[in-house]
């Protein structure tokens, strides 16, 4: 959309490394952000998500829902215009079967 301000995001992984920053449209959904994270996930990391279901995004202490847009998510936090927003990435890894 013309005249639309892009949102600049970086994604902080559990070990403190970042993916990004990159700019996204406010209409971008959380689900599509998760797909981009999977595509850009560092290949040398030990724990790697297999699907978007393995990834949780957190912004302002809230877990973001897949169908939410960036416009929905960032307005809640009140970020400064023109600043880079850091979202935290948490992995939901499969539980190992301890009974066997």
Structural domains in the chain?
7-91 (3.10.20.90)
Averaged confidence pLDDT in the chain: 84
Q: What is the pTM of this model?
A: 0.81
Q: Which residue has the tokens 């897949």?
A: 66
Is residue 98 pLDDT above 80, yes or no?
Answer: no
Instruction: Give the model's pLDDT for residue 80.
Output: 61
Cα 91 from Cα 50, distance rounded (Å): 10
Name the more confident of 1 and 63: 63
Reported as a single tens digit per residue, the pLDDT across 16-54 is 999 999 999 999 999 999 999 999 999 888 788 889 999
Q: Which two tokens stand for residue 10?
A: 């970086």
Of 1, 9, 3, give the one whose Cα is nearest residue 82: 9
What is the C-alpha to C-alpha distance for residues 17 and 97, in angstroms, rounded to an integer?
Answer: 30
Q: How confident is the model at residue 60 (pLDDT cuts 50, 70, 90)?
A: confident
Q: What is d(CA 18, CA 88) in angstroms, rounded to the nearest whole number?
A: 9
């Amino acid at each position: 959309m013309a005249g639309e301000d892009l949102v600049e995001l970086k994604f902080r992984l559990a070990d403190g490394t970042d993916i990004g920053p990159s700019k996204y449209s406010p209409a971008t959904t959380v689900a599509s952000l998760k797909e981009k994270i999977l595509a850009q996930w560092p290949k040398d990391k030990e724990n790697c998500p297999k699907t978007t279901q393995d990834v949780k995004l957190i912004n302002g202490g809230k877990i973001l829902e897949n169908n939410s847009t960036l416009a929905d998510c960032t307005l809640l936090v009140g970020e400064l215009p023109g600043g880079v927003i850091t979202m935290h990435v948490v992995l939901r890894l499969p539980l190992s079967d301890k009974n066997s």
